[in-house]
Structure 1
Amino acid sequence: MKKVILLVVLAFVCLVPTAFGAAPAKNFVIVDAKSNESFVPIRFLNGYNGTTVTWTAADQRIDIVKEQTKLTLFVGKTTGTLNEEPVQLTGAPFNDNGVTYVPLQVVSKALNMQVTWDKELSSVKLNQDDVSAASLPFLTRDKNGNVNNSKPIVSEKKTFKVGKKSFTVQMVTISLLHPKIDMDVVLAGNTIGKVEELSSLAKRNNAAVAINGTFFDAYTTGDYKAPYGYIISGNEILKQSGGDRRTVFTYDKNHLVELIPGMDFLDRFKLGTIEGGLQAGPRLLTNGKVTIDVVKEGFKDPKILTGGGARSALGITRDHKLILITTGGATIPQLAEIMKQAGAYQAMNLDGGASSGLYYNGKYITTPGRKISNAIVIKYQ
């Protein structure tokens, strides 16, 4: 009989569950468009710098505890308690896609957290006790209560006009915060110096989308074809690149994406938040404006400086979508204008020429002219 009672209790009181249904693997802050109130997921708070979160299903109660501080909130209610004293909320906790969110304002005040908003990265930086810092992407909940309504992956063929010239562009847009989307940077043959067909690399990694990555020594007659620049996967630097000034594309476990100057990369990596990325360049857009500086990034190849050709590029939107494109005959300045028209807020060039390739839904939409060294892959699970 005691065992039955214990099982019933455990069913109603537990540490924060991963989901009511299929929970997203990524944490992000939600900003409500009506009230402008911000909400943070309790799954992020649980374990953050000594904080413990307990969920009681019977009365939809959330207990957030750190040391001598206890904040108790309830889903759907704008009243709670802080150390047993009544507290009024400006927004009620709610559930979305199997995750429970609580008002950031009351939580940050109760736990003595400093909150800094970065509008350029669409992220929120949280500091506590000047020790533990974390950055979370943020999304807006619209006036109908919808969050992250975008399709996970959209593939389309578009035409963009730059000056008097029109460019046909293959474009795949990925909603990075969608719960079924995962991202990785992968090596041909899982080994530095190998090359492999992009389609083979995609299929081997169960990828829905794949695009060629950074530059490599494609023209050597030897079997070892070294990639150029940093390559990062699984919080590990797979390929070093000391002193390289080219831009590095990075992402963390919550798919918060950033383009980092090459000389700043190692200091950022030491913070321990970078999950994956690769170094290519040049950078095309910064905060919605064309910002090409090939000399500063150390490029000397005429194909980058002045020439036109087959191009691959990636862009990031302000609402955390990743835009992957391929096109032909574009110079780097023309490519930057294309990315701007495509809706990117930040953007970077990738390897091009015969390496340029884009794979989607089991087939090429742009076929590369050679085997490649590495790739960015998107998985849909």
Structure 2
Amino acid sequence: MKTAYIAVLLCATCSVCAGSSSVAYTKTTVSSVPVHVVTANLNSGCVRVSVVMPTRGRGSAEPASKLVSRSSPRAALTGTFFDTKSLLPTGDIVINGVRAHKGSVGSALCITKDNKAKIVPAKYRSHFDESAFETVLAGGLTLVYDGKISLNPRAEGFSDPHLFRYNRRTAVGVTKSNKLLMVSVTKRISLNKLAKIMKELGACEAMLLDGGSSTAMFANGHFVCEPTRRLTNLLVVYDTAKTETSKKNVDVTAEKPDTETPLR
């Protein structure tokens, strides 16, 4: 009985601490795999999620460091896949309610104006209206849906053999409590392993984002995972309660912190 009481007390303490910041980063281990995780509480009126593209727009690419320094987000993650020749993203991108790019494949992260997030699998996308969302990032592969692992790459239009190999990965998920999970894994893992990780982290919906040499995560003013090539888009999170941080304070050097910290 005493043990149970202590456990409840510890859980309550953790909840209070977690609530002290709307956007927080941690490096943890899930299923024996080191994982970088940014958690954004979308129920907070301070948090906004968007997509950043190069200055020249679609069909161009920039270093991730430039995308971050120009937009000054609290956190950023590799966005959707893109064609390495045309540099065009594979999926739809909607920024501030306006379509920035029309893609052709994949599931979609969709966020409404009142910050309600959902991941719409590719098979359902023809039945929903993108104009109802403030932010859309499509072109990903469904990993988790309705709380269950859901992997069917070819049915969602993915056939590139590189996708099925063990590789560095990024993913985005949504929890039942409307929290956004931005996840980066630098260890080479399978798609099935990534899906299991997202489920264990609490995602009831999750989808794969671009990975391999595109793998990037920015948190706590540093790149905790740095890509080796230019990118065409980044998923970014802003915390308007932390506006005291300006662009000149952003350090775009790589760093690999080991502790859990709220983003300040």
TM-score by length of structure 1 reads 0.56
Give 2:247's aligned residue: none
Match of 1:232 among 94, 97, 111: 94
Contact 1:216 1:373 in 2 (8 A): yes
Distance change >3 Å, CA 345–CA 190, structure 1 → 2: farther
* SS of residue paired to 2:195: helix
CA distance in 2, matches of 1:357, 1:278: 16
Give 1:256's aligned residue: 116
CA displacement 1:335-360 (0-9 Å, x = unmatched): 00011111111110000100010001
CA displacement 1:120-157 (0-9 Å, x = unmatched): xxxxxxxxxxxxxxxxxxxxxx9xxx9x9462111111
* SS of residue paired to 1:282: strand
Aligned length: 224
Contact 2:103 2:139 in 1 (8 A): no
Is 1:315–2:184 an aligned residue pair?
no
CA displacement 1:162-206 (0-9 Å, x = unmatched): xxxx21111111111212111111212250011112222122112
Contact 1:233 1:277 in 2 (8 A): yes
CA distance in 2, matches of 1:268, 1:150: 35
Give 1:335's aligned residue: 194
Give 1:274's aligned residue: 133
CA displacement 1:253-288 (0-9 Å, x = unmatched): 111111113354354226x32111111321011121
Higher RCO, 1 vs 2 (CA within 8 Å, ≥6 residues apart): 2
Give 2:73's aligned residue: 207
Where is the strand percentage greater, Structure 1 or Structure 2? Answer: 1
Superposed, 1:182-197 pairs within 5 Å as 182-189=48-55, 191-197=57-63
Contact 1:207 1:379 in 2 (8 A): yes
Give 1:325's aligned residue: 183
CA distance in 1, matches of 2:202, 2:58: 34
User: Which stretches of structure 1, 4 residues or more, deviate above 2 A after TM superposition?
Assistant: 148-151, 261-267
Where is the helix percentage greater, Structure 1 or Structure 2? Answer: 2
Contact 1:173 1:323 in 2 (8 A): yes
Is 1:158–2:28 an aligned residue pair?
yes
CA distance in 1, matches of 2:172, 2:157: 20
Which AA in structure 1 matches 2:95? S
Contact 2:113 2:133 in 1 (8 A): yes
CA distance in 2, matches of 1:335, 1:365: 18
Q: Please give the root-mean-square deviation of Cα atoms over the aligned residues, in Å.
A: 1.9
Percent of residue pairs bearing the same amino acid type: 28
Task: From the CA coordinates, give the structure whose radius of gyration is larger.
Answer: 1
Give 1:367's aligned residue: 226
Is 1:346–2:243 an aligned residue pair?
no
CA distance in 2, matches of 1:261, 1:323: 17
